[in-house]
Amino acid sequence: MTLPPLSLYVHFPWCVKKCPYCDFNSHAVTGAIPEDDYVAALIADLESALPFVGGRPLQSVFIGGGTPSLLSGSALARLLDALRARIDFATDAEVVLEANPGTVRGDDASRFGAYRAAGVNRLSLGIQSFAPKQLAALGRIHSGDDARRAIEAAARHFDNFNLDLMYALPGQDVAGALGDIDTALAFAPPHLSCYQLTLEPHTAFAAAPPRLPDEDVAATMQEEIEARLAAAGYVHYETSAFAQPGRQCRHNLNYWQFGDYLGIGAGAHGKLSLPNAGGGLTIMRQVRWRQPARYLAEVAAGRPLAEEFSVPEGELPFEFMLNALRLNQGFPESLFAERCGLPLAAIEPALARACAAGLLLREGGRIAPTPRGQRFLNRLLEEFMATA
């Protein structure tokens, strides 16, 4: 049995401050970051996980957060060197690092060169907006000028980089949303991620919601952003992702194609496929300890896992579709059996219902959401919950 491609996610949990919309495992810095201790813990965490991956090479590495650009270049080099010494990297492995423009002001932007020298070959910049009013509303620590300078620095050191943008922001109109897109396009980024702001539970925005554009205005923003990026030659390949031809994010594609990924670091999640005695697959989920101090202590004690469980067979169709149906071009029918270890017949009734509702298209051996299915993705996914 051929196992899925393997990626590695590395979580860095600290930020300068917690943004009010953020529901990620991030913690505002209250003193010195224990950089050396944390890198050592990440290395020990990986070593403990090696038996689960059986010598499989990494197709991609993604260092996310939090704000990984708070890491020094020397610490990142130690980490990546240690990873390469313990697990094989594919020859063309994609190595991504997230960065906040507010952490690389002025001459400090030279740290991008140190990241490149350490082995990072793709940078993802959290821009969100260039407009002062919207940046203030989002609680971002950078200005529009900081964002522009960070993009210029990224382009000097990386030929592959992503810009994260958000729309439907407090006080934003359609012209403002498109203005952010046009500013970003002036830098010709290889990749853009464009997300609608949503109010997530347990965030400051959920407790005190800001006034957001109504649903019709947000829908118009989405439609016009998609049209603007298509006209600029970007391929809309996933719900929120747009790329110049051939510049799709390989790490995220592995998620969406239900590939495997090992997650290390505070609060990191992982998904691993293991052959079982019946000739099929067992899909295992792992979760690391969430609080940074607890994570450091538990790793030191040889207990990096806070939780580990196998996904019940009946839940696999929904988990697969939750990822694969984010891809606008869908997936080959054979991928379901390859990644879930189940026959496609297991979801034939759900596929038929979704096709009859105009949410799904089956053609040429592929399964893909229709434009209606893309717009009403949650409704489409409900069909596959019924199989769980």
Which residues, other chains included, contact 5 with Cβ-Cβ below 8 Å and sequence gap of 6+? 59, 254, 259, 260
Domain ranges in the chain? Answer: 6-254, 315-385
Confidence grade of residue 388 (pLDDT, cut at 50, 70, 90): very low
> Residue 326 in contact with residue 256, Cβ under 8 Å?
yes
pLDDT of residue 279: 75
Whole-angstrom Cα distance, residue 365 to residue 356? 18
Confidence grade of residue 286 (pLDDT, cut at 50, 70, 90): very high
Q: Find the farthest-apart pair of alpha carbons in the chain and give their distance in angstroms, rounded.
A: 59
pLDDT of residue 106: 60
pLDDT of residue 54: 83
Mean pLDDT of 101-124: 87
Nearest C-alpha neighbor of 61 from the set 37, 32, 86: 86
**What is the crossing angle of helices 35-53 and 73-86, to 10°?**
20
Q: Tell me the per-residue pLDDT of 155-166, one tens digit each, with 9 for 90 and over.
A: 999 999 999 999
Mean pLDDT of 194-205: 96
Mean pLDDT of 120-140: 97
Strands 14-15 and 6-12, how do they pair? unpaired
Q: Tell me the per-residue pLDDT of 289-302, one tens digit each, with 9 for 90 and over.
A: 999 999 999 999 99
Confidence grade of residue 277 (pLDDT, cut at 50, 70, 90): confident
pLDDT of residue 84: 97
Mean pLDDT (the chain, rounded): 95
Question: What is 315-385's CATH topology?
Answer: Arc Repressor Mutant, subunit A (1.10.10)
pLDDT of residue 371: 94
Q: Tell me the per-residue pLDDT of 214-235, one tens digit each, with 9 for 90 and over.
A: 999 999 999 999 999 999 999 9
pLDDT of residue 2: 82
Mean pLDDT of 340-354: 95
> Residue 37 in contact with residue 68, Cβ under 8 Å?
no
Is residue 276 pLDDT above 90, yes or no?
Answer: no
Is residue 387 pLDDT above 60, yes or no?
Answer: no
- Residue 140, class by beta-carbon neighbours within 10 Å (0-12 exposed, 13-18 middle, 19+ buried)? buried
Residue 108 sits at φ, ψ, to 5 deg, of: -65, -15
pLDDT of residue 282: 94
Mean pLDDT of 43-56: 94
Mean pLDDT of 133-153: 96
pLDDT of residue 164: 98
Is residue 283 pLDDT above 80, yes or no?
Answer: yes
Domain 6-254 has CATH 3.30.470.20: no
pLDDT of residue 386: 53
Whole-angstrom Cα distance, residue 174 to residue 227? 13
